[in-house]
Each structure stands twice: as C-alpha cells, then as structure tokens.
C-alpha cells in the first residue's frame, strides 16, 4: 500500500502535505515545543518514536515547527509525563497511558490490558473501530489530546530468578509489573511494583524485586536483565499489543495553525508504524543472543494462563459495574475484541500454526 493511501485509511489528514514548502514556511509562525518521554534515550526504539515525530514535524513544516524530545528524568521522571503535559510544563509527552490508572482505570485501554488486542488489532480499534473517538473526551477532561504513538507488539512474560511451574509459585513474589498486568498478578498472589525502565535492573539485582517484565528481547537485553535472572517467560499475556501515546496539551494544540496540527498527526502516524516495524526487526536476533547467553526460555504453564485470564475478565466486569465511563469503553472494546479474535483465528492463526516452527 502506498504511504498516502495508508495515511488516508488511518484517518489521518494528509492534504496539508501538498501545501508544505517554501511559501508555507515563510507564511507560518515559528513554534518551539518540548516533549517529555517516559523512556531513557538508551532504549533507541521506544524512545526513538519521539525523535521520529520531531524530525517529521520539522520536515513537513519547513523547520517552522520544532519539537525537542527529552528523555525520562531530564524534565520530569518517566512516570510523571501526564502531569507535566496537563500542567503545561511541556507541550507534548510520549508515554503509556496505563501508567496513570491511578487517575482513571479506563486509561489502560489506551495502552493494553491482559488478554486484549494485538498491535494490529489495537491500531484497527483506534483508527477504524471508534477507539480514538471514545478516548478524546476522556483525555479532554485532563486537558490533553492523545494520538497513537507506537507499539512494541506482544511482549515477553518477564524475568524470574526461579522457575515458575504453576500458580502456587507466584504467591508472594515481588514483581515489577505496572497497570492492569499488575492488578491481575496481584489476584494470583504476586506483589506488583511499579518502576520506570531505568530503575528495574538495580531493583532486580539487589533483590528488591524477585521478577520483572519490561518489553521484549531487544530492550531487555540492553537493560541486562539476563545477568541477574535466567528464566524468561512467554507470552506476555498482560500486554499483547501495548500502544504508546503522544499526549498534547489541549490548550497548546488549539493554538497551532491547522497545517501544523495536520503535520503533527501525519508524523505521529508514521512514528506509530515505525516503532512496531523496528521492534519486529530487532527482537528476533536479540532473542537468539539471549538464548546463546544461557537464558532459559519458558512458556507460561497452562494453569497460570487460565487463572490469569479468569482474573482479568472478573476484574473488568467489576470495574464496569461501578464506573459508567469504564463500562462504555469496556463494552465497545469487548465486542471489537470478540469480532477480531474470530477473524484472526481463521486467517492469521490458521497460517501461523502451519508455517511457524515450534520454539
């Protein structure tokens, strides 16, 4: 599919691209924004989406609209990006919405929930299934407008110091696992911890946590988890397709010329696709390197998967019963999920079960 067609189908305005050029650059104001990321610069793919956004916005506006990314901790800590955008400390942030479920549990659906949507399905829901439209008023209450900003694809289940042979082995473990995954793990007896990416390795090394999940082989290798925990579990049922988001301060968004808004939307859509493609390229060889380094790859026991799935949907129903906004999003999401699972079960899974070798 041609790039222009993809952007049209994604619901992103591209008409402005024809107007970008010397005349546009001369007639438009100079805008300088700061972007706070939740991620360290060393994680070049998850952090890199913010750089892609900034580079493309500049190119599409003849250099008149500049966004400067800052890694976690340079302006605010990684888990305070939403607050920074709300308060106007920065104009834009790059983060994961499930970091902020303390503000509203429904925000998790903007990222990922256990046994939810894959990356492709999340994009389908956001761009064509009503997801963006559902979330715009929710984020507006926080003074933010949100845009899809990347996806890691299905993650790994995490690093453990000891082998997990069943649900009983999880009880009492301290594990770095944020958001809905942490909620579900807590129902299985785990004590969840929320730590930013740069804080995980020292906590695992010192025994502050017994286990930790982050993203997948490429980033996990960079952070060195295999040096202090040898059991590596899959699949990441807690995050089957976690989407990152670009948060923009709503007041600042309203001040942008329409052409700049379109440039931002186009650049965000490109960054969203870029991240997933890069992770797909890099995770495969990284996993092989980890195995050669002595990592013990393990599939989650079936009883853990069954218990986690039941705990997840019991919890969703409980939240939906007490929160009307959550119920509205969950009801739409669940119907979309069921439809998607039927289709992917026929097409994608039917092919993969034949074509992909066993691990």
Burial of 228: CB neighbours in 10 Å, binned 0-12, 13-18, 19+: middle
Q: Tell whether 214 is in a known binding site.
A: yes
DSSP strand pairing (158-160 vs 211-212): antiparallel
Q: Which two tokens stand for residue 170?
A: 């999880």
327 is in an annotated binding site: no
CA 234 to chain CA centroid, Å, is: 18
Q: Is 239 annotated as a binding residue?
A: yes
Distance from C-alpha of 249 to C-alpha of 269, rounded to nearest angstrom = 18
Q: In this structure, are residues 34 and 50 in contact, taking their beta carbons and an 8 Å threshold?
A: no
Q: Is 155 annotated as a binding residue?
A: yes
| DSSP single-letter state for residue 93 | E
Any bridge partners for residue 318, and if so which?
none
Closest CA to 12 of 127, 116, 115, 92: 127
Neighbours of 141 (CB within 10 A): 11
How many CB atoms are located within 10 Å of the residue 227 CB? 12
Q: Judge whether 213 is annotated as a binding position.
A: yes
CA distances for 310 relative to 77, 191, 237, angstroms: 34, 18, 12
CA distances to 34, 56, 159, 265, 354 from 31, in Å: 10, 14, 43, 16, 52
Q: Report cis status (omega within 30 of 0) of the bond before 235.
A: yes
Q: Is 39 helix (H, G, I), strand (E, B) or coil?
A: coil
- Do β-strands 31-37 and 211-212 pair in parallel, antiparallel, or remain unpaired? unpaired
R_g of the chain computed on alpha carbons: 20
Helix (H) or strand (E) holding 327: helix 324-346
CA 164 – CA 169 distance, rounded (Å)? 6
- The kind and range of the H/E element at 23 are helix 22-27
Which residue ranges make up the annotated binding site? 155, 176, 213-214, 239
Which residue ranges make up the annotated binding site for Na(+)? 214
Which residue ranges make up the annotated binding site for substrate? 155, 176, 213, 239
């Amino acid at each position: 599919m041609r790039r222009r067609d993809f952007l049209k189908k994604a619901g992103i305005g591209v008409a402005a691209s024809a107007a970008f050029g010397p005349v546009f650059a001369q007639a438009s104001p100079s805008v300088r924004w700061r972007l706070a990321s939740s991620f360290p610069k060393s994680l070049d793919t998850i952090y890199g989406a913010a750089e892609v956004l900034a580079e493309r916005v500049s190119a599409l506006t003849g250099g008149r609209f500049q966004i400067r990314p800052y890694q976690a901790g340079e302006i605010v800590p990684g888990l305070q990006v939403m607050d920074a955008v709300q308060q106007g400390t920065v104009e834009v942030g790059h983060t994961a919405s499930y970091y902020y479920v303390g503000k509203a549990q429904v925000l998790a659906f903007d990222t990922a929930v256990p046994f939810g949507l894959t990356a492709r399905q999340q994009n389908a829901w956001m761009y064509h299934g009503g997801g963006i439209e559902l979330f715009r008023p929710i984020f507006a209450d926080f003074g933010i407008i949100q845009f899809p900003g990347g996806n890691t694809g299905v993650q790994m289940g995490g690093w453990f110091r000891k082998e997990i042979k069943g649900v009983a082995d999880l009880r009492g473990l301290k594990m770095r696992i944020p958001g809905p995954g942490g909620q579900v793990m807590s129902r299985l007896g785990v004590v969840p911890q929320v730590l930013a990416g740069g804080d995980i390795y020292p906590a695992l090394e010192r025994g502050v946590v017994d286990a930790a999940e982050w993203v997948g082989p490429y980033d996990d290798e960079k952070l060195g988890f295999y040096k202090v925990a040898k059991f590596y579990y899959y699949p990441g049922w807690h995050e089957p397709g976690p989407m990152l988001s670009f948060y923009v301060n709503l007041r600042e968004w309203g001040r942008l010329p329409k052409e700049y808004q379109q440039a931002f939307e186009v650049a965000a859509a490109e960054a969203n696709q870029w991240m997933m493609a890069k992770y797909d390229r890099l995770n495969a060889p990284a996993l092989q390197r980890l195995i050669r380094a002595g990592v013990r790859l393990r599939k989650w026991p079936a009883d853990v998967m069954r218990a986690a799935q039941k705990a997840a949907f019991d919890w969703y129903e409980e939240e939906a019963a007490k929160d009307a906004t959550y119920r509205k999003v969950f009801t739409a999401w669940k119907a979309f999920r069921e439809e998607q699972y039927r289709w992917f079960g026929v097409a994608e899974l039917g092919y993969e079960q034949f074509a992909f070798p066993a691990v």
